[in-house]
Amino acid sequence: MRIVETKMRCGICKKDGAVVYCDGCGAPLCRNCRKFDLWGYGCGHVDPKAFCPACADDIQINPWGGKRPAAEND
């Protein structure tokens, strides 16, 4: 997760000030547009991630929080 340290507009709504960059596409995101996810690796290690709405739902980018394919029978 990368915090926006300069004054920048949100790349999604283009209205509010950005606070964090999307970990998928790198777009600056405001408080309303960011979506948080916690990626866990084994026990104890958790990595906070921030995504724009499109990346949050994209399983290629966000396998922990993305929508799973309907058929997952293996």
Minimum distance from residue 21 beta carbon to Zn ion (Å) = 9
Select from 25, 35, 39, 58 the one that contacts Zn ion (CB under 5 A): 25
Residues 30, 59: Cα–Cα separation, whole Å: 22
Amino acid at 56: A
Q: Is residue 20 at the binding interface for Zn ion, with CB under 5 A as the rule?
A: no
Which span sits near Zn ion by CB under 5 A: 1-9, 19-27, 35-43, 64-72? 19-27
Minimum distance from residue 71 beta carbon to Zn ion (Å) = 26
Give the burial string for 49-73 (b: 16+ CB within 10 Å, else e).
bbbbeebbebeebbeebbeeeeeee
